[in-house]
Amino acid sequence: MDEKDLIYLDTYVLQQDMRIRMPKSILENLDVEKGKSRFKVYYDKINSQLILKVEDKEETKSTLRKDK
């Protein structure tokens, strides 16, 4: 991923309970809903970056079925 392909949204502190606050602008820029959308978390060890990808709705349904 090239740096010019990234869009800076905001900076947040990692909370004591390991949560990361998401900027409100993701609601405007991504097809996500508070309390419902799920993110896949990846670590890019070459660039030392965390990458969050929205899990598509079909993956979410499949994952929820496996959990039951």
Tell me the DSSP string of 6-55: -------PPPTTS--PPPTHHHHHSS--TTT--EEEEEETTTTEEEEEEP
- Which of 38 and 66 is assigned the larger pLDDT? 38
User: What's the CA gap between 28 and 31, in Å, rounded?
Assistant: 8
Residue 2 pLDDT grade (very low, low, confident, very high; cuts 50, 70, 90): confident
User: What pLDDT is attached to residue 68?
Assistant: 60
Residue 60 predicted with pLDDT over 90: no
For the stretch 3-57, pLDDT in tens is: 788 888 899 999 999 999 999 999 998 999 999 999 999 999 998 999 999 998 7
